[in-house]
């Protein structure tokens, strides 16, 4: 079976499934994100291991999932204080356990193990957690409306800001994915046809400025049009800014993952997805885009009209 056929089959199955999970959100979406994140974190630790940077892999994956579970649980309860306190406490407990394990293993490689484990959680688990945050943003809005913070930031008490209710948040996540998919597609085909000026040939020899600019324009436009279609209450200017985030940082995320693989002399992060490589190969762009979009939307909710 050719690589193209594998890619098409994965897309036929994967895209409708992704749309359903995004649309319904809740526990099913969160479980999917935790599963994808855990596999991605495993891939990250394997990449590091190929460079002789050992990690506490099992501990890192478990705590990465725990942090995401705690976040989802308290956000569903609309309890902002417990949401952020649980993250803080989880990281303290993780650090203590890592130090105890390091003491047990001895001096050699202790700093590398601790650093690699924590870097993986911050880069993979926390960045993926942003998707859960965007999909659950309406819960944060409700929590703000009933907290003292609402009086400081003038959060509207009656309606969801810019239509970001449960349905609107689902469409926002979907629009982000659509923007990234279109960005990647445009960058690939335009770069392949017209690309002459390489962006960073040492990291990714095939990526060109022509393809990158085409990806930015196409991905940003696709995001804006998707938002206008699914969530017309959302301000055009804000959708344009987020579209730029999608088009620019998505490609930076691609370069970042290419850097890790090239440093480790690997073609793919794994072969778990037929024809596509690993989780990090497919979700490298969303890893960079989702935290920045989440921050933007949080600020919009807190300081919006």
**What pLDDT was estimated at residue 5?**
67
What pTM does this model have? 0.90
**What pLDDT was estimated at residue 124?**
95
Burial class (CB in 10 A: 0-12, 13-18, 19+), 53: middle
Q: Which of 197, 188, 194 is nearest to 218 (CA)?
A: 188
Instruction: Give residue 158's pLDDT band: very low, low, confident or very high (50, 70, 90).
Output: very low
Contact status, residue 261 vs residue 268, Cβ threshold 8 Å: yes
Instruction: Give residue 165's pLDDT band: very low, low, confident or very high (50, 70, 90).
Output: confident
Q: In this predicted structure, which of 68-72, 178-182, 301-305 has the lowest mean pLDDT?
A: 301-305
Q: Report the C-alpha gap between 298 and 292 in whole angstroms.
A: 10
Residues 60-71 pLDDT 10s: 999 999 999 999
Residues 257-290 pLDDT 10s: 888 888 888 877 777 776 667 888 889 899 999 9
Instruction: Give residue 157's pLDDT band: very low, low, confident or very high (50, 70, 90).
Output: very low
**What pLDDT was estimated at residue 147?**
59
Average pLDDT on 46-75 reads 93
205: Cβ contacts below 8 Å, ≥ 6 apart: 198
Q: Report the C-alpha gap between 17 and 31 in whole angstroms.
A: 13
- Which residues face 198 on adjacent strands? 208
Tokens of residue 72, six digits: 């989802």
Q: Which residue is associated with the tokens 């994965």?
A: 10
Instruction: List own/partner pairs for 137-142 with CB under 8 A and 24 or more apart.
Output: 137/164, 137/169, 137/172, 137/294, 137/297, 137/298, 137/301, 138/164, 138/165, 138/166, 138/168, 138/169, 139/75, 139/76, 139/78, 140/75, 140/78, 140/80, 140/298, 140/301, 141/301, 142/78
Q: In this predicted structure, which of 139-148, 211-220, 222-231, 287-296 has the lowest mean pLDDT?
A: 139-148
**What pLDDT was estimated at residue 264?**
85
Mapped onto helix, strand or coil, the DSSP state of residue 208 is strand
**What pLDDT was estimated at residue 201?**
82
Question: How high does pLDDT run on average in the chain?
Answer: 87
Which secondary-structure segment (H or E) carries 182?
Answer: helix 166-194
Q: Give the number of C-alpha atoms closer than 13 A to the C-alpha of residue 15, restricted to the C-beta side.
A: 9
- Cβ–Cβ contacts within 10 Å for residue 221, how many? 17
Contact status, residue 37 vs residue 60, Cβ threshold 8 Å: no
Contact status, residue 221 vs residue 244, Cβ threshold 8 Å: no
Q: In this predicted structure, which of 144-148, 186-190, 284-288 has the lowest mean pLDDT?
A: 144-148
Tokens of residue 137, six digits: 């943003």
Task: Indicate if the pLDDT at residue 160 is higher than 70.
Answer: no
Average pLDDT on 220-226 reads 95
Nearest-Å Rg of the Cα atoms of the chain is: 20
Q: Report the C-alpha gap between 299 and 82 in whole angstroms.
A: 20
């Amino acid at each position: 079976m050719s690589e193209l056929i594998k890619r098409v089959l994965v897309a036929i199955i994967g895209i409708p499934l992704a749309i359903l999970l995004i649309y319904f959100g809740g526990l099913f979406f969160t479980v999917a994100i935790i599963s994808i994140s855990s596999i991605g974190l495993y891939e990250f630790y394997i990449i590091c291991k190929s460079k002789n940077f050992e990690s506490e892999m099992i501990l890192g994956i478990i705590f990465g999932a725990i942090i995401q579970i705690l976040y989802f649980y308290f956000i569903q309860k609309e309890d902002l204080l417990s949401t952020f306190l649980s993250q803080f406490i989880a990281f303290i407990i993780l650090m203590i356990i890592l130090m105890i394990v390091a003491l047990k293993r001895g001096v050699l490689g202790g700093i590398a193990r601790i650093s690699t484990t924590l870097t993986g959680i911050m880069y993979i688990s926390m960045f993926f957690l942003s998707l859960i945050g965007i999909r659950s943003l309406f819960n944060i809005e409700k929590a703000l409306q009933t907290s003292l913070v609402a009086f400081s930031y003038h959060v509207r008490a009656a309606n969801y800001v810019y239509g970001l209710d449960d349905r609107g948040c689902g469409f926002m996540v979907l629009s982000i994915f659509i923007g990234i998919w279109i960005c990647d597609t445009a960058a690939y085909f335009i770069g392949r046809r017209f690309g002459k000026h390489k962006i960073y040939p040492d990291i990714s020899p095939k990526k060109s400025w022509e393809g990158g600019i085409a990806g930015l324009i196409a991905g940003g436009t696709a995001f804006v049009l998707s938002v206008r279609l699914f969530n017309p209450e959302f301000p055009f200017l804000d959708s344009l800014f987020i579209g730029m985030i999608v088009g620019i940082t998505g490609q930076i995320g691609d370069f970042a993952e290419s850097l890790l693989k090239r440093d480790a002399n690997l073609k793919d992060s794994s072969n778990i997805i037929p024809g596509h490589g690993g989780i990090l190969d497919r979700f490298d762009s969303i890893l960079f885009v989702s935290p920045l979009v989440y921050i933007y939307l949080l600020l919009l909710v807190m300081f919006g009209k």
